[in-house]
Amino acid sequence: MFTREAKRWVATATVLTLIVGGGLPFKKVEAGAGPKVIDILQIPDFHGKLIDDENHPIAAVMGKNIEELKNNNPAGTLVLGGGDNYAGRYVPEISELTRGAAVMRVFNAFGMEASTVGNHEFDWGLETIYKNVPAQYPLLAANIYSRATGKRVFEPYKIFKKDGVKIAIVGAATEDYTQYEVPGTIDAYELKDIASEVNAAAADARAKGAEIVVANIHEEHDTDTNGRIFDAVAGLKGVDAVLGAHAHRDLNTTAKDANGNNIPLLIGRDRGQNIVHMQITVAADKSLSFANEQIPIKTESGVFPYGWLAAQPVISTNVQAIIDDELADIAAAKADKIAIDLGPVSEVTKNIKLPSKGANGSKIQWISSNPNVIENNGHVRRPAKGSEDVTLTLTAMVTKGDATVTQSFSVTVKPKGVKVDQ
């Protein structure tokens, strides 16, 4: 594996020591001594996969690997999200029922400092994943604009200072509207040209003192030499390296930018199969060299880099505690949902008592499909004498912590003048 990757190295970085066959792949980095080393760790296309169907501790093992990588270079490590962080196809219940909040708490524990925006960030409505959320990291996107205001929805970039080096991360989302799969969710937004928007952000970041600019673009390759991410890179100016995503396949290469420079281009696999690792060495003369790899963690390894298929997985207890909390909240909400009993509701003539709390600590909110007949608080207004029965749906939203589960009840209200033993 290292032979293949070594061939793809963009430049020889002399500070690196490779240990083949497990163990720390990189020499411990001493802050302030000699060339500066920045380790960027990017998590591409996580799709909410904190655990899988067989309960493999994907996030907890990923967290342990990140802890060790950060310990190796405490002053110079930057953790990024590659987009499609929370939603998508085959999303586990822990992410679906918490609308990404469980993932955000885990990413906070990873020390994530920024994420780009993927097409699946729109699946629940874009605002769901950035308004009133526990995420402590910003979403960055240079090319997502509101059609209503004509302005960017997110900051285009952020400058981080790592071991004294100012590095700008610019975000961007795929311009391919067909990738925004949930109908209507992209309608309020315009996706502008990645290259020109990233270039403008890069120039702005340089003017504000950024010494390194890395674009974190949620866009993919078709083959190892072409595809939409290569098209984007071909238009870039003033960007030192590109992290891609969206492909769910590895890519570790260089691509020609608009100035004719070959810049590093690195993409990893989805759902916690690996961690993308771009190591940038800044020499005394400020020249950059790169050592790029995908760190595999869908393995049976019991030594670093740890694998989540191991018989005895090595986990971050911090991350596991977050996941256990979320699973406990989901279990409580589900138990409270099952316990809701409205009694017979096929011939209603009186107000319905709607519970607002569950025995396991859930809050219950109600939504009526026809508030003119039954209000959200259960108050009944019967139809006029002689008119038809009205059937409607009362939906309970049962919330515990980040988790919300729903239960619907079909209710039929009898018109005035009809007597029923209720």
The binding site for Zn ion (CB under 5 A) comprises: 84, 118-119, 246
Q: Which is nearer to Zn ion, 222 or 324 (CB)?
A: 222
Answer whether 142's CB lies under 8 Å from 196's CB.
Answer: no
**Cβ 339 to Zn ion shortest distance, Å:** 39
Which is nearer to Zn ion, 84 or 240 (by Cβ)?
A: 84
Answer for the pair 160, 40: CB distance below 8 angstroms, yes or no: no
In the complex, the smallest distance separating the C-beta of residue 18 from Zn ion, rounded to whole angstroms, is: 31
Please say which residue, 25 or 118, places its beta carbon nearer to Zn ion: 118
Pick 46 or 145: Cβ nearer Zn ion: 46
**Least CB distance to Zn ion at residue 218 (A):** 6
> Which CB, 119 or 294, lies closer to Zn ion?
119
Instruction: Indicate the residue whose CB is closest to Zn ion.
Output: 246
Bridge partners (DSSP) listed for residue 409: 394
C-alpha distances in angstroms, 384 versus 351, 410, 415, 418, 422? 16, 20, 6, 10, 19
Report the distance separating Cα 277 and Cα 290, nearest Å.
Answer: 10
CB of 119 to Zn ion, least distance (A): 5
Q: What angle do CA 346, 398, 187 make, to 5 degrees?
A: 100
Give φ, ψ of 59 to 5 degrees. -70, -35
CB 352 within 8 A of CB 411: yes
Alpha-carbon span 106 to 88, nearest angstrom: 18
Pick the closer one to Zn ion by CB: 125 or 355. 125
Closest separation in Å from C-beta 174 to Zn ion: 7
Q: Strands of 77-81's sheet, edge to edge?
A: 139-140, 112-116, 77-81, 36-43, 274-282, 288-296
Q: How far is the CB of 221 from Zn ion (least distance, A)?
A: 13
